[in-house]
Structures are given as C-alpha cells and as structure tokens.
Amino acid sequence: MRIAVCGKFKSGKTSLLNLLFGLELPVQAVTATRLVTRIIKGNGSYMETEDGTRTKLATDERNQLILGENNPGQSPSAGIVVGCDSPLLGEAGEMEFWDTPGLEDTAELTEITMHALERCDLAILVFDANKFGSWCEKMTLENLQDLLGGNVVYVINRIDLLNSEEDFMHVKRSANYLLKEYGNEVVGHGHILYTSASPEKSDISMLYAFVSKLAGDGTLRQALCDIAWERRMENLRKKGVLLKKPAACPLSGQQAGTAVVLDDRQICFGRDPVQCQVLYQDGTPGVSRVHCTLVWHAGRREFVLADMNSSYGTYLDNGMRLIPGKLYFLKMGEGFYLGDVNNKVLTGSIRA
C-alpha cells in the first residue's frame, strides 16, 4: 500500500513523517522539498536514478538532494528511498509512505506530486491550522477525492500555534463543515486528525493511532487498495483507455495499435516469431530477438515486466532502464518502451 503525505507548501508534511518514523529528513523554513521521498521498510538511504540503479547515499547527500541543493535541475522522475525499521510500516513490502513536494507551490512541484498521487492508494492531506479554510483548497480536495475514490484522511497540523481553545473550536467547526463531504465509507467521511509537529511541543497521537491501525489491519488495507484500484480503472476508462481484461498495446511493430490480451499467460516482446507473441520486424532499431516479458499478476493487480537481457534495454515511461532479469511492477495504464521511445507499449485492459 502506497500512502502519500501531501498538502500545501510548508504545512509540516516532512516534520510529521520524521516524528512518525523517527527520521531526520530535512525540514527547513525556506527551501522546498523537491523530490518524492519513499519511506520503506529497510535501512539506508538511496537515490533511484533513471537508469534503474539505486545508489547508496550518505545522510548529507540525501538531504541536499531532497532540498534540491545539489542538483536543482534533477529529473522529477528520480526519487529518494529511505529505509526505516518502524512497525508502522507493517511487514517488509506491505506499506510505504511517500513524502511529496508542496502542492500549489510551483507548477513543477505540483505536477511531481500529482503524478505520485496517481500511483498511490491513500493520501494524507495536511493543512495548516492557521491558514485552514481558504477556498482555494477546495480544488485540491475535489481532485484528491476524484483521484483516489475518497481514500483521503485529513491532518490539521500546527495546532500548537492556535492561540486559544476558542480558536481550536473554530478550526474544528470549519474543518468538520468543509470536509464532511469528502472521504468514503471505509476511511470515513471527513476523517480529521489534529497534530502538532512543532519541534518544541509535538503531538501526533491521532496520526500515530491511525497509522498503527492501518499497519495492523490487512483487511482494511486491502479494502482501501481495492477502492483505489477501482477508481484508477474508472479514471482510465473515462480517458477512453480500457476495460475488463488486462492487455498490452504496442504502438509500433507488427501488432501496432492492437490490444494483446494477457489473461494468465506471459507474453514476450521481440523479433523472434517462435518465442514472441508481440512481434517486431527484423531490423527494428532497439528491439532484440527476445526483448522483454510481461505478465498480469492478478493478486497484486499489476503487470510484471522483465527485461530479457536485451541489447538496448527496456525502459519505463519515466525513462528508467530496467535491470535485466529483475521484476518491475506496473500499475494499469503505466507504459514502457523497448530500446527506443518509438517502441512504446501501453498497458490497460479491454472488454472481453
């Protein structure tokens, strides 16, 4: 399960994650978080570069990258992975948290975050208690509700900066009023958690309790993932992409433009007519005889893509090159290409 922590610039996203997981990711009053940081079960910090390799990072290097100090022009598809041993991440591979750049800061950062949200199952949307209730936030609420089928919980942070109990009651009333429409049956409607991630006086007990519940309840996680998946399908369907059976659609080669249904079978892409179901003419630039394989993993509801040691490599949409033989999980609608961007393949599903 992928959980994105998102919200406006400087609402306290990274501070909350630091408190939750005992991390020391950089929080600075001025510089913006520029990259998505994935907190996963494990240890060490890594940079995930576009060629698919993970490079171990020293803490200083990691922090500079997160704040975009080292390389401001870095690609948005690059990301940081931070390993952590917290029980709040369940067993290895079960849950991960994505710390995202602030929404509505710059168009570039908002796009990085929205792209991340499309691939997540649940969002934790963080507000600043002192600026809460601006109606421009309404747009973010609507977008997230639509994108994740209501799999959103709300954190109202910086409650330590409210001056009085009266102010707190006022924020609570506004929040209940504004958020009651959002959410869904499983996560609750207007599920609001009040926090302070102040270095002096922190209180994240409500957030901690929510995340603990999630970590300990596989049935709840599955129900949320099902909702996110259904919604992802629906959104893709609205875009005219798909329905029903998982399929791959090569945009070049001999089956260009046709959807090849996967069912339970693994399909192979390449120039060898004996071994490959999706064929490319001999001499197609970038395509090997047996290039890559794709199979539908019904349990995970994801495609599994593997490069078969091809000469020119297999790439994800974001330009990341696959490590030969390693399995990569693609959500419905995520694509890849063989050796050259001209050999793009879309994934999706079609009516049986």
Ligand X SMILES: Nc1nc2c(ncn2[C@@H]2O[C@H](COP(=O)(O)OP(=O)(O)OP(=O)(O)O)[C@@H](O)[C@H]2O)c(=O)[nH]1
Q: Does 37 bind Mg ion (CB under 5 A)?
A: no
Q: Does 157 bind Mg ion (CB under 5 A)?
A: no
First to last CA, the chain: 28
Distance in Å, CB of 63 to ligand X, minimum: 12
Part in contact with ligand X (CB under 6 A); list of ranges 191-199, 230-238, 278-286, 300-308: 191-199
CA distance 162 to 152: 24
CA distance 204 to 107: 30
> Tokens in use for 238?
């609205």
CA distance 260 to 323: 24
Return the one option of Mg ion, ligand X, none that residue 11 interacts with (CB less than 5 to 8 A, by type). Answer: ligand X
Choose, by CB under 5 A, the member of 11, 18, 33, 288 that binds Mg ion.
33
Return the one option of Mg ion, ligand X, none that residue 78 interacts with (CB less than 5 to 8 A, by type). Answer: none
Q: Does 37 bind ligand X (CB under 6 A)?
A: no
Q: Does 11 bind Mg ion (CB under 5 A)?
A: no
DSSP secondary structure code for residue 76 in this structure? T
Nearer to ligand X, 2 or 158 (CB): 158
DSSP secondary structure code for residue 299 in this structure? T
For the segment 69-128, give every residue that binds ligand X (CB under 6 A). 101-102
Choose, by CB under 6 A, the member of 92, 161, 209, 298 that binds ligand X.
161
Q: Does 347 bind ligand X (CB under 6 A)?
A: no
Mark residue 172 as left, alpha or beta (left: phi above 0; alpha: psi -120 to 50; beta: remaining): alpha
Q: Token pair 């990711």 is at which residue?
A: 25
Choose, by CB under 6 A, the member of 41, 158, 232, 291 that binds ligand X.
158
Q: 157-173 burial, b for 16+ CB within 10 Å, e for fewer?
A: bbbeebeeeeeeeebee
**Which residue type does 107 have?**
A
Integer angstrom CA distances of residue 81 from 1, 9, 293: 15, 21, 26
Choose, by CB under 5 A, the member of 14, 140, 196, 314 that binds Mg ion.
14
List contacts with Mg ion (CB under 5 A): 13-14, 33
Q: By CB under 6 A, name the binding residues for ligand X.
A: 9-15, 27, 29, 32-33, 101-102, 157-158, 160-161, 196-199
